[in-house]
Amino acid sequence: MYFFQRIGAALLNPPHTQVANVHVPTLTRSKQASPHANSLCKSPMVGFIPPTLEAPSAHPTTREAPPFVKKINDTPLLMGRWHLLELHEQVWFPAALRDLVVESLRLAWTEMPAPGHSLVTEGALPVVRSVLKQTKSTAIVDVCSGGGGPMPCIAKLLNVPVTLTDLFPQVSAWERIRFEEFHDTEVGGPNDNGLFSFVAEPVDATKFPLQLCQPNTLRTFCLSLHHFQPSLARRIIADAVAHKTPIVILESQERTWWTMTLFLITLIPGIWLLWLIKLAGELISRGFIPFVSALWSALTSSGGAAPPSAGSPLRCGTPRRRARGLYRPGSGVVECIQTFAQYLIKRWFLKRVLWTLILPVVPFVVWFDGLVSCLRTYTKEEFLNDIVGPDRLNDAFEWTVTRKYILGVAVSIAYVGVPKSP
């Protein structure tokens, strides 16, 4: 234990350096924000009436943890919270790899611990649904959204508009979510029906713009509270309390032996498998199938308009000559190959395969940062005493901290604050 304490002492209290697209805001960075930081993109939050939000029904996959897991979790891993370094937050960490790490976290939200029984559907969704019903909120503003997190999925499941914000907005990632998650085949492009929007300018969570503090709006933090020291976390929550905005804070890890052991064993192969499934499906649906379709069209027609004429290189001569004719300009096959190659380059497909599957750098970073996140996570007592308690934030708000196990192993922590009834 003395050895680990010495290592921890060397890593504790890292310098608060600002990194683009990372949830580690400081006061100095907020002063450098764009003068348009308070502008809000058009979001149909006002006047929106969601459907009736029914209480979540009991689901057999959301059950209490096995007795041995409960026994392990009764004792925290360490006596206090360790605010260690996460790799993808550092200035020297490549931005391209950081984007892949953030995308991995979004995959983990929507697909782990098992497809159909994810942290979104079994953990975050029931909590958000319950608070929306309790507070009669009609819209959600997500804070420190990073690469998107679980809220776009929740917007679709609950049919409630969601607005993403961040001090370092990742506009390209959010645009990709709009295209992928809200793609309408009939329209031929994204069609979110007003359920998904984002603020392209920086938004400081400690000084929330008034345009975002609309009545009947729920504020959410997903996998971000552990990034902040207690003093800064108090300021973030105090801003929500000052605007009388209900708040839901979600974490998918805790500072216990069980979670640390689970992450230690399963996180690298789990993230690697998620990327394998994602990239294979993307290659087949958006690369291989269009390529085969275009190739078949080129083989059965001349220029894609009519069948090849008798003098066409696709029909005349021996099979060997016809095969050579396939690759002549104008036959269509060369164009198909060029289109497929452009897809691989533009979609950054080969680089993603390299850094996630061949050289699993991204799964390793997620594994390392996941273990550090466990050590950073606030316990129920620390949250209520160190964050909510000192500034008397519990006088006007009612706070609850709940823990739910998914499939008996994965954990979802929810810190919920709602205004007290007058």
Q: Which residues pair with 249 in a beta bridge?
A: 221, 415
Close Cβ partners of 14 (under 8 Å, ≥ 6 residues apart): 83, 84, 85
pLDDT, tens digit, 9 for 90 and up, residues 166-200: 998 989 889 888 887 886 655 555 667 789 999 99
At residue 69, the pLDDT reads 57
Whether residues 293 and 391 fall in one domain: no
Number of domains in the chain: 2
Close Cβ partners of 192 (under 8 Å, ≥ 6 residues apart): 178, 182
Whether residues 66 and 129 fall in one domain: yes
Whether residues 49 and 143 fall in one domain: yes
Q: Is residue 105 part of a domain?
A: no
CATH number at residue 203: 3.40.50.150
> Would you say residue 226 has pLDDT above 70?
yes
Whether residues 53 and 187 fall in one domain: yes
Which residues constitute the domain of residue 142? 2-89+116-255+378-419
Q: pLDDT category, 349, cuts 50, 70, 90?
A: confident
User: Among candidates 142, 168, 8, 151, which has minimal Cα distance to 79?
Assistant: 8
At residue 13, the pLDDT reads 44
Strands (E), 165-278: 183-184, 189-190, 196-198, 217-222, 247-251
Whether residues 237 and 354 fall in one domain: no
Whether residues 415 and 400 fall in one domain: yes
> Would you say residue 343 has pLDDT above 90?
no
Q: Please name the amino acid found at residue 272.
A: W
Q: Is residue 104 part of a domain?
A: no
| Token pair of 70 as six digits | 């409960």
Residue with tokens 């499934």: 277
Q: Is residue 335 part of a domain?
A: yes
Q: Is residue 94 part of a domain?
A: no
Element containing residue 262 per DSSP (H, E): helix 257-283
Q: Is residue 111 part of a domain?
A: no
Whether residues 169 and 202 fall in one domain: yes
Q: Residues 196-207: what's their mean pLDDT?
A: 92
Whether residues 224 and 121 fall in one domain: yes
Whether residues 232 and 307 fall in one domain: no
Whether residues 194 and 205 fall in one domain: yes
Whether residues 401 and 304 fall in one domain: no
Q: Is residue 262 part of a domain?
A: no
Question: With contact defined as beta carbons under 8 Å apart, do 297 and 304 qualify?
Answer: yes
pLDDT, tens digit, 9 for 90 and up, residues 291-301: 777 777 766 76
Domain-ending residue, one of 344, 359, 376: 376
Cα separation of 180 and 153, whole Å? 11
Whether residues 237 and 288 fall in one domain: no
Q: Is residue 202 part of a domain?
A: yes
Q: Is residue 394 part of a domain?
A: yes
Rg (CA), the chain: 25
